[in-house]
Amino acid sequence: MAAAARFFIRGANSRLSISGFGTGAQSCFGAALLRLSPGCSSRTKTQRRHASHFTYQPDPVPTQYGPTQKMNLFQSVTSALDNTLASDPTAVIFGEDVAFGGVFRCTVGLRDKYGKDRVFNTPLCEQGIVGFGIGVAVAGATAIAEIQFADYIYPAFDQIVNEAAKYRYRSGNLFDCGNLTIRAPWGCVGHGSLYHSQSPEAFFAHCPGIKVVIPRGPVQAKGLLLSCISDKNPCIFFEPKILYRAAVEQVPVEPYTIPLSQAEVLQEGSDVTLVAWGTQIHVMREVANMAQEKLGVSCEVIDLQTILPWDTETVCKSVVKTGRLLISHEAPITGGFAAEISSTVQEECFLNLEAPISRVCGYDTPFPHIFEPFYIPDKWKCLEAIKRMINY
Amino acid sequence: CGTMLTNISNVLRACAQRNVSALYTTVCEILDFILLQKCDTHKLDEAPATEVVMTREEGLQYYRTMQTMRRMELKADQLYKQKIIRGFCHLYDGQEACAVGIEASINLSDHLITAYRAHGYTYTRGGTVKEIMAELTGRRGGIAKGKGGSMHMYCKNFYGGNGIVGAQVPLGAGVALACKHQGRNELCVCLYGDGAANQGQIFETYNMAALWKLPVIFVCENNRYGMGTSVERAAASTDYYKRGEFIPGLRVDGMDVLCVREATRFAAEHCRSGKGPILMELQTYRYHGHSMSDPGVSYRTREEIQEVRSKSDPISMLKDRMLSNNMASVEELKEIDVEVRKEIEDAAQFATTDPEPPLEELCNHIFYNNPPLDVRGTHPWSKLKSVS
């Protein structure tokens, strides 16, 4: 038990005592981890257990898209869908429980505004939802399908991979289902356990023909979602569910698009490149600050945004500059998308690398129920990885 | 008349095990035949018995079990609101008669699989309240060692506890195939809800089960709402007992424990005689919302919930039946209530104070492996061990 503890905190903080692992030591371990993040000092044990592993860092207010309004992630999604239904008369939104607003309130008010033939519920059948969506898209209408949790997307996997992705290719460009967009809540949420926390982007990254997009906040979400809807290819849009309420930003009310397949450099740096997407970006930003303060290391933070097809150029250019790369995601490490990035970067930038590419990801286990705080790649593990790369 | 004879012979068989002096009292206690509501049938020539007998012991046992389940769910509700239970918690109160009725007509050697509203079934299949509550709070004393949580509870011949809707049904048919193949006279009760009844894999399973005459009882627990969607808005046909088409079906009042018992007895006989699968729709109701994050009142009225609670609550119905037939006194039932409350309190205490599973458990039991397996994780230099 003590050995396991040492794995997690080796070198990170010598002030922690690793005496044993009963309830007492666990809570002091957890407390010590959290004591070091600001504003977590005086809480009860139950409250400490539930503090999240990141602090949301909002984007600066965008000025080029017109007037803005304070929105959180689910409201920005509603705004994007509202814009779409208003401008595109063929657009339809469907999924489980979308009519009353959806389990995460992403479609609130749309049915009342646009009618029940444009925003409607489907029965409980993911395979049916996506198959039906493909049909709607092929016939020419804009289909926005919602899968209630990304963990439930697997019955639809066959439809997505075998039908949607290959439609244009197999018909020689005669037919396509580019009008299809699939939205699904994604990622860990603190208490989701096995079937409400998964990040399946790697499964779909292996499939040419579809696009996979993951935003980091409300401004990005609205722009990227509108891009996905207008994109002439079937797109899967994963929304980090932990950010639905936690992420609040000033979001433009008018429609605007953010280009797909373009990674965004959030912070320039010269020593290490950090690549992540979705919720993990906010962890990386904290890591970048910590690395600057404690290690004097300047980090360049890149949000990949589009997983497939991904922006190899931005990432490689950055690695050529810094020489070190750290990629982080919540999904298990084996076969996770970090493997693809790592492999491509070593091909392109082999001689520029100062240290092996580091991947800080989830363990190769199913997403655990009670062990979630130990499973996720938090800022301490990332900082540790940076240290090792610097001292290589 | 045939049913009367069967009933009397059941009575005498039950009496044969008691001494003669008690025979008189026993006969008086149980000779009041209880009349049940008739079941709707689909592709069946016979139907479950409508005149049934319930002994005092059976009645008290059903009462105790249902009351334990009810109090356990209410306690889980309390603990969830105190944030001692986290994650997802789907409560079973209101539907107790289904679990108790089914278990009354099958043996512990038969098999059962259900979806995520599984706390009740975990209890009737042999789990203890302590283990169930500790699993809800994620402690090492939990029935799945704290690694599964609310939706993943298992015990002998009970295959969970499944989170993905509808995924458990083909699994249940597989279990039934194994039983048939290995010549064991066992069957599998395979439960799902009204929402899941629209999943494709259910229909695939109906086909396989009927084709290969598998000993499986499909049970659709129709509590009228698939999360927030009422059955009328989700299904083209709400006659769930007919959905098996070529599989015979029964529609049963799921709030009456004796109805469920008789229907299950009928269904079990059907399966065990080699006639193949059978489908039962249990019309029931849940008082809580879909899960603890659903208040349960945005898609149905409080009046509706109140009405069901006052008119068709399974525990109240059983209590009234027993009191009006002089099978038990008010004090006896109150005593059972007090005992049950104590048991639940103790279990909650245990569940709150038991330590969490040790950190090694994070990686254990991923694969079946003989020498312990290395598990890669966040850093390539730190590998954890997976032991199975």
Q: Which of A53, A146, A163, A196 is catalytic?
A: A196
- Share above pLDDT 70 across residues of chain B, in percent, rounded to a whole number: 90
Helical pair A2-9 and A23-35, crossing angle rounded to 10 deg: 10
Asked whether residue A113 is domain-assigned, the answer is yes
Which pLDDT tens digit goes with each residue over B240-255? 999 999 999 999 999 9
Contact A368, A362 (CB under 8 A): no
Per-residue pLDDT for B31 more than 80? no
A368 prior amide bond cis, ω within 30: no
B299 part of contact set with chain A, CB < 8 Å: yes
B-chain residues near A369 (CB < 8 A): 87, 138, 146-149, 152
Strands A299-303 and A264-267: antiparallel
Residues A247, A278, single domain; the answer is: no
Q: Which CATH number fits the domain that encloses residue A382?
A: 3.40.50.920
- Domain extents for chain B? 34-357, 363-387
Asked whether residue A62 is domain-assigned, the answer is no
B384 pLDDT band, cuts 50/70/90, is confident
Asked whether residue A209 is domain-assigned, the answer is yes
Nearest-CA neighbor of B156 among B117, B116, B107?
Answer: B107
Give the pLDDT score at B364: 82
Domain range for A301 is 264-390
Residues A72, A158, single domain; the answer is: yes
Residue of A nearest to B294 (CA): A103
The CA distance from B160 to the nearest CA of chain A, in Å, is 14
Q: How many independent structural domains does chain A possess? A: 3
Domain at B34-357, CATH homologous superfamily: Thiamin diphosphate (ThDP)-binding fold, Pyr/PP domains (3.40.50.970)
Give the pLDDT score at A14: 36
CB contact under 8 A, A363 and B228: no
Average pLDDT of span B90-100 = 95
Asked whether residue A49 is domain-assigned, the answer is no
Average pLDDT of span B4-23 = 56
Residues A15, A81, single domain; the answer is: no
Give the pLDDT score at B11: 58
Give the pLDDT score at B10: 61
Average pLDDT of span B339-344 = 96
B-chain residues near A371 (CB < 8 A): 357, 359, 361-362
Which pLDDT tens digit goes with each residue over A191-206? 888 999 999 999 999 9
Residues A142, A270, single domain; the answer is: no
B19 pLDDT band, cuts 50/70/90, is low
B15 pLDDT band, cuts 50/70/90, is low
Residues A74, A15, single domain; the answer is: no
B227 pLDDT band, cuts 50/70/90, is confident
Cα gap B168→B186, rounded to integer Å? 18
Which pLDDT tens digit goes with each residue over B180-207? 989 889 999 999 999 999 999 999 999 9
Active site residue A196: yes
Cα gap A324→A373, rounded to integer Å? 27
Contact B353, B130 (CB under 8 A): no
Residue of B nearest to A154 (CA): B164
End position of a domain, from candidates A217, A232, A252: A252
Q: What is the pLDDT along chain A (392 residues), one digit of tens a residue?
A: 444 444 333 433 333 333 333 333 333 333 333 333 344 344 444 444 556 788 999 989 999 999 999 999 999 999 999 999 999 999 999 999 898 899 999 999 999 999 999 999 998 889 999 999 999 999 999 999 999 999 999 999 999 999 999 999 999 999 999 999 999 999 999 888 899 999 999 999 999 999 999 999 999 999 999 999 999 999 999 999 999 999 999 999 999 999 999 999 999 999 999 999 999 999 999 999 999 999 999 999 999 999 999 999 999 999 999 999 999 999 999 999 999 999 999 999 999 999 999 999 999 999 998 889 889 999 999 999 999 999 99
Cα gap A291→B26, rounded to integer Å? 80
A71-85, B6-20, B231-245: least confident range = B6-20
Contact A92, A119 (CB under 8 A): yes
Cα gap A229→B385, rounded to integer Å? 45
A-chain residues near B299 (CB < 8 A): 100
Q: Which CATH number fits the domain that encloses residue A188?
A: 3.40.50.970
Give the pLDDT score at B293: 86
Window B:181-210, CB contacts with A under 8 Å: 195-196, 198-201
Which pLDDT tens digit goes with each residue over B366-378? 887 777 777 876 6
Q: Among partner residues A127, A191, A369, which is closest to B147 by beta-carbon distance?
A: A369
Per-residue pLDDT for B24 more than 70? no
The CA distance from A60 to the nearest CA of chain B, in Å, is 31
Asked whether residue A165 is domain-assigned, the answer is yes
Asked whether residue A118 is domain-assigned, the answer is yes
Per-residue pLDDT for B9 more than 90? no
Cα gap A274→A295, rounded to integer Å? 15
Give the pLDDT score at B317: 94
Q: How far is CA A315 from the centre of its chain?
A: 17
Residues A118, A181, single domain; the answer is: yes
Contact A287, A379 (CB under 8 A): yes
